[in-house]
């Protein structure tokens, strides 16, 4: 068969499944299952990236695969939206797979062969989710994704906390899946055909369309981590091994975003404006919530998990703006917002995966996840530290890296809002912009805490002086992702051109970014706003170089080493540096009502004084525990039916028989 | 770009902005003396914008309103309040009920609500200052919020007076002022109210040795 | 290269060279207000020159990030000086970065200096870093909101264009800009570590915010940091002038005469602004550290209020 983008993508999916199965051949052999197979998986991911980029310029391709049940074959379709997300999966998975080839070592938790199988099935199922063109394929792929990731999360299943985290994850994934299933049920609009083409052709009255949107937001929001369905994220992401956390945080959350975009912009044609307002409000709240919680965490992976919640909130805010504009027929602005949201998707995939993988290396080298026991690792692990710095700066949204570009685009979209016809929304959108600005500032705070406490300062535990740097395979993986961050930051015009094909297919118009200069980004109009990361980076580099040369030429470069300033306290220990709790204390003070704080204070009479602080999420008390209690109550009440006497059970059957016969009359 | 508005409208907008700024600043102040000073500034802004409306619209009775405002809100009431503060010896408010940043956040939400509410109403009016109706409504709501979140009795009184300022501004901007009779009646009420409240403050302080209103809760039947 | 590009470059270099003089002027005004003689307006230059001659003494545990940070900070502030119009609206790099990127540049400098402070591993460094990030995380959104208000009025986010548009309008009172102006002054005081947020001349470590971060720096690194702090204050002052007092800037179509006039006008505005800053500093007292979030929250909410007033009144 001819080499079309769709066949290449399907080939990659099949290759991943084959690699996974091959892992079962020699499950204990780390060199085979670990290095070789993961390496092959990385090559396949690169092919997927190439296929995604290739197909962005191609017309839409669709196939019916000769698989599945009779009368329910699998439909697949490759359109611009799907190609973008496939490129995202490919680019991120390439880096993570190379890293994993070096990361998984013998004697830790699961068998390498089993890990290989679960990992590659996970990747293949995510590809199928993006390719799916009918509800059946979508749900099969979605469930496979959930199951594969569940097994990956519970790799170290002998630890009870990890088992509990896995259970919570599976539970919420299925609650979301029910929402998605019901959404598809509403979308078919009476035709009882579950292909996406049929759903596109069906026109729903506004009430049913809104119900479908609400179900989609609920279902996909549970997978993406929108408040209040976010509680599984901070438990599951830290519990999984680091490459899996990176894959979940960087890629799996984006498939949920893909789902929202697919349902609201493609299957429901034109979103209503007030859906956008709801999504905007929800996204803004999620973003602030995630940032505030991330700032007070003491476990490095939980911190990154909450930070993922924050970024998902930002993306959903962008989607909300896009829906708002599209509903009010302001298509050019809708294109701008949608591009900003999708750009942030791929940016987040790159820098979040980079940071999770760096924490993986730290965990490997030190065995510690607790921020209070790390520190000073920049001296022992220079490669990891400097690459993590790239990820940190990108996540904090600093120019000229990629995080800044998508945030810049989103702020430009916010600036156009005075032209809205509805007054209340007109006023609420600047509040959304204010919340967004607050989130960006908080994420810088979180990143300084993360990087500073782990890599800078002095080692808080003696064991840390034995830490070793990452291996060469891991370094390649990290470098690939860091390169992605830099490239996406320096070439925004190229990325926006690629995203414009998606805009044209979903909304009808593109941004029409003036591309007479490939190095200057002017999304709407050169008078209005422009940004050139290359000129910026070049300017900074020149300024720094000139300063350095002038200072060294006119003066000298002598350096002496001595002790740091101790203000007269002679016994400075490394434990006198800020702990993670200490660094988060201002946020705790300012945002007190957000948390449920439990403190254990020492008294003057304690022989060994202890100070403990536990910060809880209030959503447990407000939402989850009441539901869990009512479920238990109901189960208890229903339990009265079981009395253990045979006569009673015979009576149940007899009563049912009598009732049915009475109805037949 | 907006075409340039006539100077009088711009000055009225400026007066409205100063009013909003002072009522917002009152939410963030802890010192009671600053509250009284802010109230005085409000009075000045109010009188000036009333005078400008009187000048441009030709409604001469508004001049009398402006003079009355100056006499009452800039001179008499602040003097009474300063004397009260000196005799009661209160300088600082204790911590407000919810902390100051949260109060200000509620304030912003109220401002958005007031602005949104006022838009359709101000379309119906025909005065030159109708777009400032939203600001007047916001000032009323912010003062109400201030009354709710303060502990000392005297801050609540100042909030009440600020609310009256907001209502007066709303009347001027929406309908060219209330009938003179109503206005004189309101002014007299406010003055008498101040005198009576002054007497009450002394009684409260006699009883509880402090002007913190939480002590009034002890008076309930148990 | 065209003449305008050279003039623009000259503008940026002039800003970098004059910045310590601006700090010297403010210190001199403060001295006069406090009835002292003061050290003279050229004192910052003498300090920088003295520092450049010394040997750099670095703590044992410092990494290369510590040594790179002062250069990054100085580079970032120099970039900002190239973006902000000082006396003409043709800032050389004004097209490459707009006001949002400007906020990003300030954030970049802040993050690097905070990381350098945490690098040493003493309690004071991380204290300073934590407090600086606290001030920064509230001041940055306030600054962004001020810029958004100005952008909405002038329909552009490029700072030279904003200055141009606001300067061309015949005298109009913009209430929303009044709110934004007050918020901007509060942010200026907070971000540049002036009273009432931080005392630039304190020597008590527990009251420091900015100084605690640079406690370990010496010699040429400290010289660069002092210069970047001066440049940061100068940048903020010129941003304030461009947004709120833009008359007198040489416009896009101006000729040589307008340019020649713009220089003394800009100098006059800076002199007045410096004196006003010194007055504010002398009249205020330093706030307790946990009152600082309230101060900044007020600034943030005032800026948001300015935006809302603009939407309501259309001005």
Residue A599 in tokens? 């403190």
Searching chain A, which residue's CA lies closest to the CA of residue C115?
A452
In a domain, residue A92? The reply is no
In a domain, residue A606? The reply is yes
The whole-angstrom distance between A106's CA and the closest CA on chain C is 34
**How many CB pairs below 8 A link A and B?**
13
Chain C residues with CB under 8 Å of A442 CB are 137
> CA–CA separation, A515 vs A536, rounded Å?
18
The whole-angstrom distance between A525's CA and the closest CA on chain B is 16
Query: In the predicted model, what is the mean pLDDT of chain A?
Result: 87
pLDDT band at residue B2 under the 50/70/90 scheme = very low
Query: Of chain C residues 211-230, which have a CB less than 8 A from chain A?
Result: 215-216, 220, 224
pLDDT band at residue A449 under the 50/70/90 scheme = very high
> Do residues C135 and C286 make contact, with C-beta atoms less than 8 angstroms apart?
no
Helices (H), A367-491: 377-380, 382-395, 402-415, 423-455, 472-490
Residues 6+ apart with CB under 8 A from B103: B27, B28, B96, B145, B149
Quick one: average pLDDT of A95-121? Answer: 84
pLDDT in tens, A258-282: 999 999 988 888 888 889 999 999 9
Report the half-sphere exposure of A111 (CA within 13 A, side-chain side).
12
- Contact C304/B at CB under 8 A: yes
Q: At what angle do helices C219-244 and C64-83 cross, to 10 degrees?
A: 30
Q: Name the pairing type of β-strands A559-562 and C56-59.
A: parallel
Proportion of chain A above pLDDT 70, given as a percent:
97
Searching chain A, which residue's CA lies closest to the CA of residue C82?
A539
Other Cβ atoms less than 10 A from the Cβ of A123: the count is 29
List residues of A whose CB lies inside 8 A of any B CB: 423-424, 427-428, 431, 590, 593
What pLDDT score was predicted for residue A189?
77
Chain A residues with CB under 8 Å of C124 CB are 565, 567
Quick one: average pLDDT of C90-117? Answer: 87
Reply yes or no on whether the pLDDT at B120 is more than 80: no
Chain A residues with CB under 8 Å of C151 CB are 415
Query: In the predicted model, what is the mean pLDDT of chain B?
Result: 80
A74: β partners? A65
> CA–CA separation, A69 vs B194, rounded Å?
84
DSSP annotation of A62 reads E
Residue A637: domain span: 591-664
Quick one: average pLDDT of A343-355? Answer: 95
Searching chain B, which residue's CA lies closest to the CA of residue C179?
B21
In a domain, residue A219? The reply is no
The structural domain count of chain A equals 1
- Contact C279/A at CB under 8 A: no
Interface probe for C, chosen from A284, A385, A456, A548 (most Cβ of C below 10 Å), is: A456
Closest Cα to residue B27, out of B102, B118, B77? B102
For A374, phi then psi, to 5°, come to -115, -170
Searching chain C, which residue's CA lies closest to the CA of residue B9?
C173
What pLDDT score was predicted for residue A418?
63
> CA–CA separation, B164 vs B177, rounded Å?
13
Put simply, the answer to whether B115 touches C308 (Cβ < 8 Å) is yes
pLDDT in tens, B159-192: 888 988 888 888 877 676 667 667 777 777 777 7
Put simply, the answer to whether B28 touches C298 (Cβ < 8 Å) is yes
Searching chain A, which residue's CA lies closest to the CA of residue B119?
A423
Reply yes or no on whether the pLDDT at C253 is more than 70: no
- Contact C171/A at CB under 8 A: no
Residue C196 in tokens? 């009432």
> Do residues A583 and C81 make contact, with C-beta atoms less than 8 angstroms apart?
no
Q: Torsion-angle region of residue A135: left (phi > 0), alpha (psi -120 to 50) or beta?
A: alpha
Neighbours of chain C (3+ CB pairs under 8 A): A, B
Residue C315 in tokens? 């001005």
Query: Of chain B residues 49-78, which have a CB less than 8 A from chain A?
Result: none
Put simply, the answer to whether A590 touches B101 (Cβ < 8 Å) is yes
- Residue carrying the six token digits 């030190």: A366
What pLDDT score was predicted for residue B1?
37
Beta strands in C262-311 (DSSP E): none
Put simply, the answer to whether B116 touches A427 (Cβ < 8 Å) is yes
What pLDDT score was predicted for residue A444?
93
Other Cβ atoms less than 10 A from the Cβ of C184: the count is 27
Chain A residues with CB under 8 Å of C125 CB are 457, 577
Interface probe for A, chosen from C68, C100, C128, C132 (most Cβ of A below 10 Å), is: C100
> CA–CA separation, A352 vs A367, rounded Å?
21
Angle in degrees, CA A393, A394, A397, rounded to 5? 90
Put simply, the answer to whether B102 touches A593 (Cβ < 8 Å) is yes
Searching chain A, which residue's CA lies closest to the CA of residue C151?
A415
Put simply, the answer to whether A562 touches C121 (Cβ < 8 Å) is no
Closest Cα to residue B61, out of B179, B208, B167, B209? B179
Searching chain C, which residue's CA lies closest to the CA of residue A378?
C63
Helices (H), A514-558: 533-554
Put simply, the answer to whether A445 touches C105 (Cβ < 8 Å) is no
Put simply, the answer to whether A427 touches B108 (Cβ < 8 Å) is no
What pLDDT score was predicted for residue A1?
53
- Contact C309/B at CB under 8 A: yes
Chain B residues with CB under 8 Å of A432 CB are none
ipTM over 0.85: yes
What pLDDT score was predicted for residue C315?
55
Least confident of A343-357, C170-184, C246-260: C246-260
Q: How many residues does chain C have?
A: 315
- Contact B134/C at CB under 8 A: yes
Helix and strand numbers (H, E) in chain B are 8, 0
> CA–CA separation, A508 vs A354, rounded Å?
35
Reply yes or no on whether the pLDDT at C122 is more than 60: yes
Q: At what angle do helices C43-53 and C219-244 cross, to 10 degrees?
A: 150
More confident residue, B97 or A500: A500
Least confident of A372-381, B59-68, B118-127: B118-127
In a domain, residue A505? The reply is no
The whole-angstrom distance between A284's CA and the closest CA on chain C is 14
> CA–CA separation, A289 vs A228, rounded Å?
10
Helices (H), A154-264: 160-187, 196-201, 206-224, 233-239, 242-247, 253-261
> CA–CA separation, A176 vs B214, rounded Å?
48
- Between the alpha carbon of residue C257 and those of residues C260, C262, C271, the distances in Å are 5, 9, 22
Quick one: average pLDDT of A203-212? Answer: 89
> Do residues A10 and A25 make contact, with C-beta atoms less than 8 angstroms apart?
no
More confident residue, C45 or A607: C45
A75: β partners? A64
> Do residues A358 and A242 make contact, with C-beta atoms less than 8 angstroms apart?
no
pTM, full prediction: 0.90
Put simply, the answer to whether C178 touches B104 (Cβ < 8 Å) is no
Query: In this complex, which of B102, B112, B119 lies closest to A431 when CB atoms are compared?
Result: B112
pLDDT in tens, A533-574: 888 898 899 999 999 998 888 887 788 888 888 777 777 788
pLDDT in tens, B40-68: 999 999 999 888 888 887 777 788 888 88
Residue C88, classified by CB atoms within 10 Å of its CB into exposed (0-12), middle (13-18) or buried (19+), is buried
Chain C residues with CB under 8 Å of A431 CB are 304
Residue A253 in tokens? 């959350």
Q: What share of chain C is helix, strand, coil (3-state, %, to 5)?
A: 70, 0, 25
pLDDT in tens, A148-195: 999 999 988 888 889 999 999 999 999 999 999 999 999 887 777 788
What pLDDT score was predicted for residue A278?
92
Q: At what angle do helices A273-295 and A300-327 cross, to 10 degrees?
A: 160
- Contact C158/A at CB under 8 A: yes
pLDDT in tens, C16-69: 999 999 999 999 999 999 999 988 889 999 999 999 888 888 888 888 899 999
Neighbours of chain A (3+ CB pairs under 8 A): B, C
Reply yes or no on whether the pLDDT at A506 is more than 60: yes
Residue A452, classified by CB atoms within 10 Å of its CB into exposed (0-12), middle (13-18) or buried (19+), is buried
Q: What share of chain A is helix, strand, coil (3-state, %, to 5)?
A: 70, 5, 20
- Contact B119/A at CB under 8 A: yes
> CA–CA separation, C258 vs A603, rounded Å?
72
pLDDT band at residue A350 under the 50/70/90 scheme = very high
Put simply, the answer to whether C96 touches A554 (Cβ < 8 Å) is no
Q: Torsion-angle region of residue B146: left (phi > 0), alpha (psi -120 to 50) or beta?
A: alpha
Query: Of chain C residues 110-139, which have a CB less than 8 A from chain A?
Result: 110-111, 114-115, 118-127, 129-131, 133-134, 136-138
Helices (H), A531-645: 533-554, 580-590, 618-619, 625-638
> CA–CA separation, B198 vs A597, rounded Å?
43
In a domain, residue A624? The reply is yes
Residue C168 in tokens? 């061309």
Chain B residues with CB under 8 Å of A431 CB are 108, 112
For C265, phi then psi, to 5°, come to -60, -45
> Do residues B137 and B166 make contact, with C-beta atoms less than 8 angstroms apart?
yes
Reply yes or no on whether the pLDDT at C1 is more than 60: no
C58: β partners? A561
Chain C residues with CB under 8 Å of B135 CB are 309, 312-313
Gyration radius of chain C over CA positions: 19
Query: In this complex, which of C169, C178, C305 lies closest to B108 when CB atoms are compared?
Result: C305
In a domain, residue A96? The reply is no
pLDDT in tens, A589-598: 888 778 888 8
> CA–CA separation, A574 vs A576, rounded Å?
5
Decide: helix, strand or coil at residue A202. Answer: coil
Searching chain B, which residue's CA lies closest to the CA of residue A589?
B99
Long-range contacts: A535-538, Cβ < 8 Å, 24+? A535/C93, A535/C96, A535/C97, A536/A399, A536/A400, A536/C79, A536/C93, A536/C96, A536/C97, A536/C101, A537/A400, A537/A490
């Amino acid at each position: 068969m001819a080499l079309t983008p769709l066949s290449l993508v399907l080939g990659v999916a099949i290759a991943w499944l084959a690699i996974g199965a091959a892992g079962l051949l020699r499950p204990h052999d780390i060199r085979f299952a670990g290095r070789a197979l993961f390496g092959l998986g990385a090559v396949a991911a690169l092919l997927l990236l190439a296929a995604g980029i290739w197909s962005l310029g191609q017309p839409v391709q669709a196939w019916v695969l000769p698989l599945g049940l009779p009368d329910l074959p699998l439909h697949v379709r490759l359109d611009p939206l799907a190609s973008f997300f496939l490129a995202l999966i490919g680019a991120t998975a390439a880096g993570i797979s190379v890293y994993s080839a070096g990361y998984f070592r013998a004697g830790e938790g699961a068998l390498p062969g089993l890990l290989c199988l679960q990992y590659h099935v996970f990747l293949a199922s995510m590809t199928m989710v993006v390719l799916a063109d009918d509800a059946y394929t979508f749900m099969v792929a979605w469930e496979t994704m959930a199951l594969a990731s569940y097994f990956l999360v519970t790799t170290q299943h002998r630890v009870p906390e990890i088992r509990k985290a896995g259970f919570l994850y599976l539970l919420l994934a299925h609650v979301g899946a029910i929402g998605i299933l019901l959404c598809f049920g509403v979308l078919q609009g009476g035709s009882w055909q579950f292909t996406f083409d049929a759903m596109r052709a069906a026109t729903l009255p506004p009430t049913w369309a809104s119900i479908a949107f609400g179900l989609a937001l609920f279902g996909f929001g549970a997978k993406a981590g929108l408040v209040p369905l976010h509680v599984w994220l901070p438990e599951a992401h830290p519990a999984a091994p680091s490459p899996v956390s990176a894959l979940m945080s960087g890629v799996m959350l984006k498939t949920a975003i893909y789902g929202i975009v697919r349902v609201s912009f493609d299957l429901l044609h034109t979103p209503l404006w007030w859906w956008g307002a709801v999504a905007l409000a929800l996204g803004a709240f999620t973003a602030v919530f995630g940032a505030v919680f991330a700032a007070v965490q003491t476990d490095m992976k939980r911190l990154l998990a909450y930070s993922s919640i924050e970024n998902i909130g930002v993306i959903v805010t962008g989607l909300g703006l896009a829906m708002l504009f599209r509903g009010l027929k302001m298509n050019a602005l809708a294109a701008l917002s949608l591009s900003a949201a999708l750009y942030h998707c791929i940016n987040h995939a790159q820098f979040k995966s980079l940071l999770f993988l760096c924490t993986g290396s730290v965990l490997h080298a030190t065995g510690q996840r607790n921020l209070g026991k790390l520190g000073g690792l920049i001296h022992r692990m220079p490669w990891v530290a400097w690459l993590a710095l790239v990820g940190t700066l990108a996540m904090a949204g600093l120019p000229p890296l990629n995080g800044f570009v998508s945030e810049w685009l989103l702020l430009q979209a916010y600036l156009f809002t005075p032209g809205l016809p509805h007054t209340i929304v007109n006023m609420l959108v600047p509040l959304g912009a204010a919340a967004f600005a607050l989130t960006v500032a908080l994420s810088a705070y979180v990143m300084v805490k993360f990087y500073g406490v782990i890599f800078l300062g002095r080692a808080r535990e003696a064991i840390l002086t034995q830490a070793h740097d990452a291996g060469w395979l891991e370094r390649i993986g990290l470098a690939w992702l860091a390169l992605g961050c830099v490239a996406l930051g320096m070439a925004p015009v190229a990325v926006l051109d690629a995203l414009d094909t998606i805009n044209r297919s979903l909304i009808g118009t593109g941004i029409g970014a003036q591309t007479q200069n490939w190095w200057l980004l002017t999304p709407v109009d050169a008078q209005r706003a422009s940004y050139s990361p290359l000129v910026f980076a070049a300017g900074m580099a020149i300024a720094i170089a000139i300063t350095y040369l002038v200072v060294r030429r006119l003066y000298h470069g002598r350096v002496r080493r001595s002790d740091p300033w101790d203000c007269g306290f002679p016994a400075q220990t490394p434990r006198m540096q800020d702990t993670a709790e200490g660094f988060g204390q201002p946020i705790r003070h300012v945002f007190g009502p957000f948390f449920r704080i439990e403190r254990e204070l020492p008294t003057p009479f304690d022989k060994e004084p202890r100070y403990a602080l536990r910060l809880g999420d209030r959503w447990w008390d407000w939402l989850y525990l009441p539901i869990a209690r009512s479920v238990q109550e109901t189960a208890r009440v229903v339990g009265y039916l079981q009395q253990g006497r045979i006569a009673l059970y015979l009576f149940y059957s007899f009563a049912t028989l009598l009732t049915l016969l009475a109805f037949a009359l | 770009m907006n075409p340039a508005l006539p100077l009088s409208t711009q000055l009225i907008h400026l007066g409205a902005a100063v009013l909003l700024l002072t009522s917002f600043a009152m939410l963030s102040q802890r010192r009671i003396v600053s509250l009284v000073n802010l109230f005085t500034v409000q009075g000045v802004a109010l009188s000036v914008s009333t005078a400008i409306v009187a000048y441009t619209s030709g409604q001469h009775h508004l001049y009398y309103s402006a003079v009355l405002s100056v006499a009452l809100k800039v001179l008499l009431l602040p003097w009474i309040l300063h004397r009260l503060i000196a005799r009661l010896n209160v300088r600082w408010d204790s911590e407000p009920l919810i902390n100051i940043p949260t109060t200000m956040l509620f304030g912003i939400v109220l401002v958005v609500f007031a602005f949104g509410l006022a838009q359709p109403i101000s379309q119906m009016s025909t005065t030159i200052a109708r777009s400032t109706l939203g600001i007047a409504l916001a000032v009323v709501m912010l003062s109400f919020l201030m009354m709710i979140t303060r502990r000392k009795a005297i801050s609540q009184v100042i909030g009440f007076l600020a609310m009256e300022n907001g209502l007066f501004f709303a009347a001027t901007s929406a309908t060219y002022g209330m009938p003179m009779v109503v206005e004189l009646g309101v002014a007299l009420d406010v003055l008498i109210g101040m005198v009576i409240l002054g007497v009450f403050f002394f009684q409260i302080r006699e009883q509880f040795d402090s002007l913190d209103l939480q002590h009034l809760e002890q008076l309930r039947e148990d | 290269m065209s003449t305008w590009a050279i003039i623009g470059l000259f503008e940026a270099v002039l800003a970098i060279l004059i910045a310590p003089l601006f700090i010297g002027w403010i210190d001199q005004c403060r001295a006069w207000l406090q009835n002292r003689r003061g050290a003279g307006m050229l004192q910052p230059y003498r300090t920088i020159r003295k520092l450049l001659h010394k040997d750099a003494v670095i703590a044992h545990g410092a990494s290369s990030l510590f040594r790179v940070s002062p250069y990054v900070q100085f580079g970032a502030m120099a970039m900002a000086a190239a973006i902000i119009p000082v006396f003409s609206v043709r800032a050389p790099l004004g097209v490459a970065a707009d006001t949002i990127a400007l906020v990003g540049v300030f954030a970049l400098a802040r993050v690097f200096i905070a990381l350098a402070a945490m690098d040493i591993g003493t309690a004071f460094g991380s204290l300073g870093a934590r407090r600086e990030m606290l001030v920064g995380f509230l001041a940055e959104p306030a600054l962004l909101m001020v810029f958004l208000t100005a952008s909405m009025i002038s329909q552009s986010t490029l700072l030279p264009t904003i200055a141009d548009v606001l300067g061309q309008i015949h005298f109009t009172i913009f209430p929303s800009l009044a709110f934004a102006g007050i918020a901007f002054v509060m942010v200026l005081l907070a971000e540049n570590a002036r009273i009432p947020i931080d005392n630039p001349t304190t020597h008590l470590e527990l009251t420091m915010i900015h100084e605690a971060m640079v406690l370990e720096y010496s010699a040429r690194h400290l010289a660069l940091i002092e210069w970047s702090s001066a440049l940061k204050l100068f940048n903020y002052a010129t941003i304030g002038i461009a947004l709120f007092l833009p008359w007198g800037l040489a416009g896009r179509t101006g000729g040589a005469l307008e340019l020649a006039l713009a220089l003394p006008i800009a100098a006059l505005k800076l002199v007045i602004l410096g004196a006003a800053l010194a007055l504010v500093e002398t009249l205020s007292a330093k706030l307790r550290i946990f009152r600082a979030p309230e101060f900044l929250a007020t600034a943030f909410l005032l800026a948001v209020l300015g935006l809302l007033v603009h939407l309501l009144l259309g001005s």
